[in-house]
Structure 1
Amino acid sequence: MTPQYPVRHWMSLPPSIQDFDKAIKCMKPGKAPGPDNIPLELLTQDTPTIDLQFRMDGGVFNLARLRAKTKTTKTLLREMQYADDNATPGQTAEDLQRTATTYNNVYERFGMQVNTDKTKALIQHPPGQILPNINTTINEHTLEEVEQFSYLGSILTSTPTCKKDVENRIRAAHSAYGRLSCRVFNNHALTMATKIMVFQAIVLSTLLYACETWTLYRNDIQSLERFQQYKLRQILKIPWESHTTNVAVLNQASVTGVEATIIHHRLRWVGHVQRMEPFRLPKIMLYGELANGTRPRGAPKLRYKDQLKRTLALTNIDPSSWEQTARDCAT
């Protein structure tokens, strides 16, 4: 669908008077104007930002290319929204309070109100540090601080890992399987092929929702594989004491293993990101980094880039030429 008005891709640029006029004329009851549901007036406020720097050439795994300051591009990240959900990052407690106050003031001027009961605050602690509570307030209401928060089907946590997200997907897949047990998986009138098709279409899809964006450790993959094996053995009526190998179970069900499925989804997603326009945030994040801050020494957290490089090596794809391969959609 083509937007009625041009979409401002570089959100760090100030809006024009014409932008304001169009935004105000497009106001709907209870909704903010603009294609991103954020009032354009908010962009003129002195709100703190997250500074990102990126460079699209030189190879995504060559991080040294980002040291050349004259060849890198900087952009500002103020908010991340989808539909009527919005996540606002901040580097300090003071930054987050200023942003929350600005959002609230602008929304009130447009006749809207922030739902403070649904708005949560979450701290991601630096490695080896525990930060105190930040006590962010909106209209004298202190926002609840949480260790994890559900956002668009994924789990955001105070620790930058996917462990909680994986646990949440396993619970959701257990629930999906349980709701279908009587009508499908324990129904003797259905063929085994039909049961496997339903398992793949509903249960596995629930289990691996958004898996292409995960950064997984070996224990995370093992947890997902255990769930798949447990449910397939239930469907196929294979007892554990039969000593049937996991590979034999997958072959009997004609189902791809969890790790191979995740690798397929990851490669498909990163190819899609590579073909995006350079102003898109997913591509900026893949080809860039935070302008401020450093990674700790020793054994820092696994990054998506690190996992992608391992995946390319595992699938015999040259890390130096994968971008050219991804540009060819027919490959």
Structure 2
Amino acid sequence: MTHMLTDAFCDGSTGIDIKYRIDGEVFNLRRLQAKTKVKTYNIRDLLFADDCALSAGSEVELQNLMNKFSTACSNFDLMINTEKTEVMYQPAHGNVYKEPMIMINGTKLKAAHRFTYLGSTLSQNINIDDEVNSRISMASSSFGRLYANVWHRGGINLQTKLNVYRAAVLPVLLYASETWTIYTRHAKKLNHFHTNCLRKLLKIKRQDKIPDTTVLDRAGIPSINTILMKHQLRWAGHLVRMPDHRMPKILFYSEMSSGKRSRGGQKKRFKDTLKSSIKSFEIKIDSWEKAARDRTSWRSLLRKGAKSCEAARQAASVLRRQKRKASAHESQTVATISCPHCPRLFKARIGLTSHLRVH
């Protein structure tokens, strides 16, 4: 595959240009405004085993790449399966979607709004809603297949069942979550599935009115929020320790060479999610990269941060629950304000004021 791509793009065909600078802090974007230390990198083809993805900044450029790729395949006596080849157009925010017209030897390629690549669901709208739904569906299937042989089997103790859940269900649910850009709605949906599974293992019914914090504490498993943050920080540590020529590290320390963000509310980026996770784990923003270069100390730091983050999350959840109960109790307070002209009682003074108008 590598030799064929070299033959196809020997003239340096364009892809997507990014600019990067590995020295300095990843959250300091001003460093990319330097005129001498910034380097450029072109992302054109992504290879994994026998899978190949081509990327371009416009429809014309992508058609040019496909023409050269098709010619190179013919030179190596290879054939492109047009039924398995799909095209996805991801317009910038605010741009109108237009179905791309990409041809190979006179055959139009299917334009997909989403498709699965290396186990992950990529979406035309550039968010992970479809990926989260797909993960929950597959994890639910994995959980269901083990119901008769593991979850419902009496001869297996609870701790073994929880270990199987950690090994067989959670990895399916959180596959490739290290690179997700998480919104609150995603974490809530994943955590709802997570706690429902644990309730079934612990044989806790909704009628028991046991909160999720107690369920997680009994199972000895943290919430999905904490697990996601730990996964992303662990992956960030791998990126920091990678050799400088590796593409994942270059992408991590880069931004697009062209384009700009509009004013107002912005879509979250992976770096925004990562920065929030670092703060939640009580790690210093200005020194986290230095700490991540030592793998052993970084993993120890993540374990401590995960414990403190989960404890803070549970404490906040308990506080919110207490406030809800107090509010409900106040709304049921017995009426104590009486009318001076009749025996009627009122819970609030505004009710008495309205009532006095008739006297």
Does the TM-score normalized on the shorter chain lie above 0.5? yes
Where in structure 1 do 4 or more consecutive aligned residues deviate above 6 Å? none
* 1:301 corresponds to 2:267: yes
> Residue 24 of structure 1 aligns with which residue?
none
CA contact (8 A) 2:132 2:186 kept: yes
Are the equivalent residues in 2 in contact too, given 1:55–1:288 (CA < 8 A)? yes
The SS at the match of 1:320 is helix
Alpha-carbon distance between aligned partners in 2 of 1:330 and 1:252, rounded to the nearest angstrom: 29
Distance in 1 separating the partners of 2:18 and 2:157: 53
Identity of aligned residues (%): 35
Secondary structure of 1:70's partner? coil
Distance 1:136 1:278, change over 3 A: same
1:173-213 deviations in Å (ceiling 9; x for gaps): 00101111111111122211121111111011110111111
Out of 289, 311, 315, the position equivalent to 1:323 is: 289
- 1:125 is matched with 91
Contact 2:86 2:109 in 1 (8 A): yes
Change (3 A) 1:233 1:330: same
- Structure 2 unaligned residues grouped into runs of 5+: 298-359
- 5 Å matches for 1:278-289? 278-289=244-255
Of 226, 230, 237 in structure 1, the residue corresponding to residue 203 of structure 2 is: 237
Distance 2:223 2:233 in 1: 16
Q: Which residue of 2 aligns with 1:72?
A: 38
> Does the residue aligned with 1:190 lie in a helix, a strand or coil?
coil
**Structure 2 match to 1:136:** 102
Question: Distance between the aligned counterparts of 1:264 and 1:307, measured in 2?
Answer: 12
SS in 1 for 2:18: strand
Partner of 2:240: 274
RMSD of aligned Cα (Å): 1.2
C-alpha distance in 1, partners of 2:275/2:100? 37
SS state at 1:193 partner: helix
CA contact (8 A) 1:211 1:262 kept: yes
Report 1 or 2 for greater relative contact order, CA contacts < 8 Å, sequence distance ≥ 6. 1
Distance 1:69 1:39 in 2: 32
Indicate if the aligned counterparts of 2:115 and 2:123 stay in contact, CA closer than 8 A. yes
TM-score w.r.t. structure 2 length? Answer: 0.81
Alignment partner of 2:148 out of 165, 168, 182:
182
Letter paired with 1:301: K
Deviations 1:262-282 (A, max 9, x none): 111111100000111111111
Q: Tell me which of 135, 143, 168 is aligned to 1:202.
A: 168
CA offsets 1:132-191 (integer angstroms, 9 cap, x no match): 221101011100001101001101111121111111100000010111111111112221
- How many angstroms does 1:100 deviate by? 0.7
- Asked if structure 2 preserves the Cα contact closer than 8 Å seen for 1:48 and 1:98, the reply is no
Q: Does 1:51 align with 2:17?
A: yes
| 1:10 matched residue in structure 2 | none
The number of aligned residues is 297
Q: State the Cα deviation string for residues 263-318 of structure 1 (Å, max 9, x = none).
A: 11111100000111111111111111110111222112101111111111111111
Q: Is there any run of 5+ residues in structure 1 with no aligned partner, and where?
A: 1-31
Equivalent residue for 2:29, pick from 38, 46, 63: 63
> Which TM-score applies when normalising by structure 1?
0.87
In terms of fraction of residues, the more helix-rich structure is 2
Distance 1:219 1:195, change over 3 A: same
- Kindly state the Cα deviation for residue 43 of structure 1 after the two structures are TM-superposed: 2.9
Name the residue aligned to 1:20: none
Q: Which amino acid aligns with 2:161?
A: K
Aligned to 1:99: 65
1:201-240 Cα shifts (integer Å, max 9, x gaps): 1011110111111110001000000001111111111010
Distance 1:39 1:215 in 2: 31
Q: Distance in 2 between matches of 1:313 and 1:251?
A: 23
Separation in 1, partners of 2:32, 2:2: 36
Does residue 254 of the first structure (1) align with residue 220 of the second (2)? yes
| 2:132 aligned residue (150, 166, 191) | 166
